[in-house]
A and B are shown apart, each in its own frame.
Chain A
Amino acid sequence: MESTYILPGLLILVALFFIYSYNRLVSMRNMADKAYSNIDTLLQKRFDLVPNLVNTVKGYMEHERELLEAITRARTEWLNASTIEENAGADQTAERAIKTLFAVAENYPDLKANQNFMMLQEELAGIENKIAYARQRYNRTVMALNTMVQRFPTNLIARLFNFGTRSYFAIESEQARSAPEINLRDGEKE
């Protein structure tokens, strides 16, 4: 008598687990999408500022042509990027070049006094920092998603509904996280 309930009970449990896992996968995928679009928006903001930055700096930095070209190149690279890897590559090139630019700017007192440059520097420092956090956020959501997609038994459900793993938005080193080391508040006094 009792045994007649065991099979339906088990089926219900399996169904519940199925629903739960599927919903988790969906919300994790959406979180990863949202985190990625965050990075994208910020990269857009940063690269929108690049032409302005290059124009402002050009007149002052005669000897740093290569550096400016590297920044412009990173922007072109980013405009043509379609995969996550390409986006991440452009991001990294730009981040390094902008960081160097601000470091080099220390040698140009006239440039540092330029109102427009000061504004750009502050804006870019903020954006670089946000990009670093957005990257971290994205990589974490991707790690959680990938773990669920690959682990048993959720991998069965993932395979059934075509949930794939995602690529990380890779950066080479952790030190990139601290973004450009600029003291914003003292900038005006100097």
Chain B
Amino acid sequence: MMDPIYSRIAANKRRTFILFFLYAVLFGAIGYLVGIYIGDPLFGMILAAIVFAVLFMISYFSGQNVVTKMAGAREVKKQEEPYLYNTVEALSIAAGKPMPKIYIIETEVPNAFAAGRNPDNSIIAVTRGLMNRLDRQELEAVIAHEMAHINNYDVLLATVAIVLAGTIVFVSVIARRMMLFGGMGRGGGRRGGQGQLIMILILLVVAILAPIFAQLLKFAISRQREYLADATAANFTGYPEGLASALEKITNQQVKNSPIENRALEGLYIVNPSLGARSANRQSVLFSTHPPAEERIKRLRAM
């Protein structure tokens, strides 16, 4: 009786919760170690709790703002881009969902992504190149694909995962700085040796956990969801070929060192923008955030 879309939504919400929980544990551990370093473990944990609470709020309530800033996207209104606005509005009608905010990235490389926490608070970002290179039906298909991600709550998990993963990098940078600073400034200090040890411990924790979290991020942004979003998009527009030819165009036009190439965000885009950087698209399927475009196109054409 369970609708596959509903179980998909439930799974995404559950995974988001697990992600938050794991990060809470990680921050607690780091806070504890920092606390020992300062001489008051409780204070360290309280500090960590506060930092985590702030992070939680940021990633949950304004994750899409962080992501659009990272991507260099700017919000546009109907008067500026009536064509894009009308297209998005049409698809939001097809999906029966509220109208997302629209962002544009000023680059000729065609691509698009969606972010947000639920259908009421979400955004769709497209590049200028996408609008210039696709015809109306292809653009509709891409927007439909993004609407499907919003619909399925894929955006919640992806957005939260990206913001949280970013903070891990941030923490590790701080920890390294502190160690360097502590090493130089207080090298001969009373607790220098012990302090160094704890800093190394923190670094170790971060160093071990960071790749695990990166892996989680990939798991979160699973490849299966792309097939599902493709299928849902085809269902919204009633025209699978539109998405197939859009994917073809987008995949062929990803270039090396494009402005939208960003490791943290690559799983978010409809087609991985780092494709151009890898030789002849023959990247390993195992480590990819996306299924190969050829396979997606093949499935769409078989519909």
Q: Mark A36-76, 1 if CB is under 8 A from B, else 0.
A: 00100010000000000000000000000000000000000
Query: A134: CB under 8 A from chain B?
Result: yes
A122-B83, A126-B82, A184-B83 known; A136 vs B90 contact (CB < 8 Å): no
Asked if A177 and B83 sit within 8 Å, CB to CB, the answer is: no
B-binding residues in A (CB < 8 A): 31, 34-35, 38, 42, 122-123, 125-127, 129-130, 132-134, 136-137, 141, 174, 177-178, 183-185
Tell me the complex Cα distance, A118–B297, Å.
36
In the complex the two chains form, is A34's CB within 8 Å of B93's CB?
no
Q: Are A137 and B96 in contact (CB under 8 A)?
A: yes
Distance A37 CA – B85 CA, assembled complex (angstroms): 21
Q: How large is the interface on B (under 10, 10 to 19, 20 to 34, 35 or more residues)?
A: 10 to 19
Contact partner, A122, options B82, B91, B93, Cβ 8 Å: B82
B121 within 8 A of A: no
In the complex, which residues of chain A have a beta carbon less than 8 angstroms from the beta carbon of B89? 126, 130
* Interchain CB contact under 8 A, A38 and B93: yes
B253 within 8 A of A: no
Interface string of B90-131 (1 = CB under 8 A from A): 110111100000000000000000000000000000000001
B93 touches A134 (CB 8 A): yes
B215 at the interface (CB under 8 A from A): no
Contact B93 A137 (CB under 8 A): yes
Dominant SS at the B interface? helix
Question: Given the interface contacts A136-B238, A178-B137, does A129 sit within 8 Å of B86 by beta carbon?
Answer: yes
Min C-beta distance of B188 to chain A, whole Å: 69
Expressed in whole angstroms, the minimum distance between the Cβ of A57 and any Cβ of chain B is 20
Q: Which residues of chain A come closer than 8 Å to B236, judged between CB atoms?
A: 133
| B window 197-237: CB within 8 A of A | 236
Contact among A35, A122, A126, A185 with B90 in the assembled complex (CB-CB below 8 Å): A126
Q: Which of B128-187 contact A (CB under 8 A)?
A: 131-132, 135-137
| Cross-chain contact B94 with A137 (CB below 8 angstroms) | yes
In the complex formed, the residue of A with least CB distance to B137 is A178
Closest to A177 in B: B238
How far, in whole Å, are A114 and B172 apart by their CA atoms in the complex?
61
Q: How far is the CA of A181 from the CA of B166 in the complex (A)?
A: 45
A185 to B96, CA, bound (A): 27
For the complex with contacts A126-B83, A129-B87, 12 further pairs of A-B residues with Cβ separation under 8 Å are: A38-B93, A42-B93, A125-B86, A126-B82, A126-B85, A130-B86, A133-B90, A133-B91, A136-B94, A174-B238, A183-B136, A185-B132
A selection of 30 A-B contacts at a CB cut-off of 8 Å is: A31-B96, A42-B93, A122-B83, A123-B82, A125-B86, A126-B83, A126-B85, A126-B86, A126-B87, A126-B89, A127-B86, A129-B86, A129-B87, A129-B90, A130-B89, A130-B93, A132-B90, A133-B91, A133-B93, A133-B94, A134-B93, A136-B238, A137-B93, A137-B94, A174-B238, A177-B238, A183-B136, A185-B83, A185-B131, A185-B132
Q: Given the known A-B contacts A31-B96, A178-B137, are A130 and B238 also in contact in the complex, defined by CB atoms under 8 Å?
A: no
Is the Cβ of A34 less than 8 Å from the Cβ of B90? no
CA distance A34 to B89 in the complex (A): 16
Closest chain-A Cβ to B233's Cβ sits at a distance in Å of: 13
Contact residues in A for B131 (Cβ distance below 8 Å): 185
Q: In the bound complex, how far is the Cα of B85 from the Cα of A127, in angstroms?
A: 11
